[in-house]
Structure 1
């Protein structure tokens, strides 16, 4: 089964020059913990509720901080829509992330896939990823 068969295609993006308050409001409206950051029709980063808490609030920065200042850009992970679910699961597991932006081969954002989406497609594939994603450590630790 391919990523396109399970991904959410109604993904919303936020601009890097928007504020983290704008991002938090969008997350609230969408009931989402992560929003892809897009600029000129390209994926340039991801911003998560954790990025806002750790990179802004914990450092004393306010709601007018730009998304660009808080977003994750280093080692930005994504998956192609025609990759299989096992590749998505492996990437999530390796990088300890629960969702990945989905791009087409022209590198345009076409969706987002989460562990939950994968579990709807193939529970055995998502189970292994969940075990590894939930382990402490990885690139998003607080230290």
Structure 2
């Protein structure tokens, strides 16, 4: 089974120049806790979580209507190819201690989906899933 077989296909990028208050509205409307951040060429440049908005913007006294999503994009984002084996996806998420992973189509280098914990349940054994949930949920 490959990443494309278990991913959510309706992943929506937030433009890097969009404000965090708009990002929060998008998250609410889409009932998600994270959005991939894309540049003007629609290339993945980061991930934005609801926690990022609270901890890295609001708690630091910044105005979410003035801070841009791209301001919180740090480093090279983690992602997998749509053709990556699900066991490799699981290993990557576990090693990086992340619960959401963008999926990229290598032909056009565009975001085609997202994988989260619940998606993994369709592609791995119960034992693997239990190990993942335990290892990502417990701070190291």
Q: What is the TM-score with the length of structure 2 in the denominator?
A: 0.91
Name the count of aligned residue pairs.
136
Aligned mate of 1:127, from 130, 133, 136: 130
Aligned mate of 1:114, from 105, 113, 116: 116
Match of 1:17 in 2: 17
Query: 1:17 aligns to what SS in structure 2?
Result: coil
Where do 5+ consecutive residues of structure 2 fail to align?
Answer: none
Match of 2:68 in 1: 66
The change in CA–CA distance for 1:134 and 1:75 in structure 2 (over 3 A counts) is farther
Match of 1:86 in 2: 87
Instruction: Kindly report the root-mean-square deviation, in angstroms, between the aligned alpha carbons of the 2 structures.
Output: 1.3
Match of 1:136 in 2: 139
Match of 1:33 in 2: 33
User: How far is the alpha carbon of 1:75 from its aligned partner?
Assistant: 4.1
User: How far is the alpha carbon of 1:100 from its aligned partner?
Assistant: 0.1
1:13-62 deviation digits (Å, cap 9, x = unpaired): 11011000010000000100000011212111110001101110111001
Query: 2:11 aligns to what SS in structure 1?
Result: coil
User: How far is the alpha carbon of 1:76 from its aligned partner?
Assistant: 1.4
Query: 1:58 aligns to what SS in structure 2?
Result: helix
Match of 2:54 in 1: 53
Where do 5+ consecutive residues of structure 1 fail to align?
Answer: 138-143
Separation in structure 2 between the aligned mates of residue 19 and residue 7 of structure 1, nearest angstrom: 27
